Amino acid sequence: MLSRAAPRLRGTLAHVPRALRVTSLRSVHIVSSLPVASDTAISQWEHKSSQQTRLFSASALHAMETSVISVPAMAESISEGVLATFHKQVGDYVEQDEEIASIETDKIDVAVNASRSGTITKLLVSEGDTVTVGQPVIEVSLGGQQASQTTEPEPSSESSKQVKEEKTSSVPQPQPQPDPETKPEPKSPPTVTPQKPKTPAPKPEGPVPAFNGNRAETREKMTRMRLRTAERLKDSQNTAAFATTFNEVDMTKVMEFRSKNKDDVLKKHGVKLGFMGPVARASALALKEIPSINASIENDDTFVFRDYVDLSVAVATPKGLVTPVLRNMESMGVVEIEKGIAELGKKARENKLSMSDLTGGSFTISNSGIWGSLFGTPIINMPQTAVLGIYGIQQRPVAVNGHVEIRPMMYTALTYDHRLVDGREGITFLTLVKKYLEDPASMLIE
C-alpha cells in the first residue's frame, strides 16, 4: 500500500482513464517520467485536428451531392425516341449546358445537355434503348472536379519520420536463418517423342457449291426517322386516290436566264442560282390559279383551302428523307426562294433542323434530277394533296416551228389526290408550270 496519493498529471495524460494511469507503483514512475506537453501545444493540435475534420466532412458532402439528367421535352407530337449516342462516359467531367447524349426521334435529333457541372457517375440507360420524355438517363456528381482537387494535408516530414522510427524500434527485427543445403537434382535424359504420320484432310461430303465468291451479309436496324418515313409513305398510298400526269418543258430560256445572272446573284446575294427557284416561282403562280392543288382534306369530309403557299422541299439525308418547309413562298422572288431552299438544305445535311422547320407544308416539290433521274412518279406527302416532281435536263430532238432542233428538255410529273383534284385541274396546273418556265419573262408580269 502506498502512503500517499499518486501525483496529479497534467496535459494530454490527464485525459487518460485513471485505471490505465495508475495500476501499480511501477506504472506511476513510468508515467511521471514521460515529458509533459504544454497547454499551448495541446490547443494548437486540437485546432488543427478540428480544421482537418471540417474540411474532410465538407468535401465529402459536396462530392455526395448528385443530379439526375432526364430526357428533355421534344415536341407536341413526339413523346419518345431512341438514345442514339452517348458523347460522354462514366468518369468524364461535363460543363453546364454541354451536350452529353443525342436522342433520335421520328423527325429530328434531340440533344441532352447537362443541367449543372459535374462528373458523370452512372449511365441509367444504354445506347439503342427507347426513352420517353422526363425519363432519367444520366447521374452526375456535382462539383466532381473541384472536390477531387481538395485533398487532406499530408503530415509534416518530422512527425512522419518520428512515427517511422518508433515503429521500427518497437517491432523486433527477424533474425536471418541459414538456408538449408540443397542438392542439385540429377538431369534426366531428354525424351524423344515419335512424330505421328500426317493424315489427309477429309473431303467435303455432298455437292460442292457452284460459287466461290464472298457471301457475307450485314443487318442494320432501321432508324426511327426511316421507319416513320416508310410508315407515312405507305399510309399515303393506302389513303389517297393517286393519279399522275406528265409533261415536258423546254428549258432553253431558263438556262439562258441562269447563265446570264448566276455570277451577279452569287456576288450580290451569296447564293447559287439553280433551277429550283424558277420552278418554285412558276408553281406559286400556278397554285394561285388552281387553288385545289394547294388544299387538303380534313377529317375525311372537309376541304381546307389556303391563301398562302408553304413549300415542302424533299431533301435526302443519310438518316432518311426529310421535307423542311419554306414559309409563304408565294410572296418571294426567285433569288429569295433559292436562298431559303439553300439554307434549309444545309440545315438538313448538318442535322440541325428544328420541329418548326418540318411541321406544316401545303405543297411539295421533289427534284430527282440532281441524282440523274429522267422520269418518275412521286408520292404525295400527306396530308397534302399534290407533289410536283422535276427530273434531269437532257438534250433531245424536238419539233420547233416545223423544224427538228436539239433542245434541253425536262420531264415533269404531278401526282395528286383524285378525291380532291380532278384530272382537268391537275393537267391545267402542270401546263401552267410549263408555260411559265418556257417564258420566264411572263412570271414578271404576274
The torsion angles phi and psi of 199, rounded to 5 degrees, stand at -100, 140
Euclidean distance between CA atoms 128 and 116, whole angstroms: 25
Euclidean distance between CA atoms 142 and 65, whole angstroms: 6
Euclidean distance between CA atoms 231 and 81, whole angstroms: 16
Strand-pairing partners, residue 166, are none
One of 29, 307, 418, 439 is an active-site residue; which one? 418
- Pairing label, strands 66-70, 136-142: antiparallel
Long-range contacts: 36-41, Cβ < 8 Å, 24+? 36/10, 36/11, 37/11, 37/12, 38/11, 39/11
Kindly list the distances between the CA atom of residue 183 and the CA atoms of 96, 180, 188, 189, 275, in Å, as whole numbers in the listed order.
71, 10, 15, 18, 98
Euclidean distance between CA atoms 265 and 287, whole angstroms: 26
Nearest to 244 by CA among 418, 423, 414, 424: 414
418 is catalytic: yes
CB atoms within 10 A of CB 160: 11
Strand-pairing partners, residue 325, are 312
**Distance in Å from the first CA to the final CA of the chain:** 128
One of 97, 129, 264, 422 is an active-site residue; which one? 422
DSSP code of 440? Answer: T
Cis bond before residue 383 (omega within 30° of 0): yes
Residue with cell 407544308: 361
97 is catalytic: no
The torsion angles phi and psi of 274, rounded to 5 degrees, stand at -110, -150
Q: Give the residue numbers annotated as catalytic, written as ranges.
A: 418, 422
